[in-house]
């Protein structure tokens, strides 16, 4: 019988009990428990300040990447670790998939600068966040590593499509940035500020795991 999906808040998820065999480093706990807020705020600020084709394409890719992880979770339906505070499937980790995508794409497109330290620092941050997910029994190492690999692979494919386009079944797909500039954005190439609410709402739905809350509500309704 499929486990019921508890209605979890972000605070519940961040404070899930750590493994009895894991002693959490305070820095790992801080980075891991605030990753959702830090990454979301950074993304929103980039959108608000730039609002151009490259950053909109980056945002669209991150949403598609997150959706691919959520769909795979339902297909694979692999349980989370014993004692997990969450009851929905855990393979692959959505957090790991998102972090893998965002870090890889940001490095490829220069959002993290050109310093030689950018890649090691990004890898260390992602690693700390993934360690936190494992230590709080939200995922196994297999789940976070597969998620991170999926996010990195999606980032490479999406970056190529955004910047260079792609040939598929004999059809050439134009670069996403060109499509946005030609068909979506005004002549200035900048999205009007008043439309910023659209990516904000979409991002909130994806980051807030709305589908998990809906499934939990349906499960509770089914039990009544």
Q: Given this model, what pLDDT does residue 200 score?
A: 84
Residue 91 phi/psi, 5-degree rounding, is: -110, 120
Q: Does 137 have pLDDT greater than 50? A: yes
Q: Does 181 have pLDDT greater than 90? A: yes
pTM (two decimals): 0.80
Q: Does 209 have pLDDT greater than 60? A: yes
Q: Given this model, what pLDDT does residue 212 score?
A: 60
Q: Does 8 have pLDDT greater than 80? A: no
Task: Name the region of 191 (left: φ>0; alpha: ψ -120 to 50; beta: rest).
Answer: beta
Kindly state the helix (H) or strand (E) to which residue 171 belongs, with its residue range. Answer: strand 171-173
pLDDT, the chain, mean: 83
Q: Which residue has the higher pLDDT, 12 or 189?
A: 189
Q: Provide the token pair at 141.
A: 């190492």
Give the Cα separation of 95 and 65 in Å (integer): 11
> For residue 76, which of 59, 92, 62 has the smallest C-alpha distance?
92
Residues forming a β-bridge with 52? 190
Residue 2 phi/psi, 5-degree rounding, is: -70, 140
Q: Given this model, what pLDDT does residue 1 score?
A: 41
* pLDDT tens, position by position, 56-74: 999 999 999 999 998 999 8
């Amino acid at each position: 019988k499929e486990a019921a999906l508890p209605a979890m808040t972000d605070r519940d998820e961040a404070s899930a009990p750590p493994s009895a065999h894991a002693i959490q480093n305070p820095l790992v706990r801080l980075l891991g428990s605030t990753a959702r807020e830090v990454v979301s705020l950074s993304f929103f600020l980039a959108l608000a300040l730039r609002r151009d084709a490259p950053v909109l394409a980056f945002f669209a890719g991150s949403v598609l990447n997150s959706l691919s992880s959520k769909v795979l979770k339902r297909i694979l339906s692999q349980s989370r670790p014993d004692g997990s505070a969450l009851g929905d499937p855990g393979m692959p980790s959505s957090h790991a998939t998102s972090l893998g995508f965002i870090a890889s794409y940001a490095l490829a497109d220069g959002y993290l600068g050109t310093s030689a330290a950018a890649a090691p620092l990004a890898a260390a941050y992602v690693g700390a966040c993934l360690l936190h997910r494992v230590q709080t029994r939200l995922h196994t190492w297999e789940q976070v590593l597969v998620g991170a690999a999926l996010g990195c692979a999606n980032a490479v494919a999406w970056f190529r499509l955004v910047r260079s386009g792609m040939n598929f079944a004999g059809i050439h797909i134009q670069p996403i940035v060109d499509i946005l500039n030609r068909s979506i954005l005004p002549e200035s190439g900048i999205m009007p500020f008043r439309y910023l609410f659209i990516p904000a709402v979409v991002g909130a739905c994806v980051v807030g795991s709305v589908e998990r809350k809906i499934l939990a509500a349906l499960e509770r309704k089914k039990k009544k």
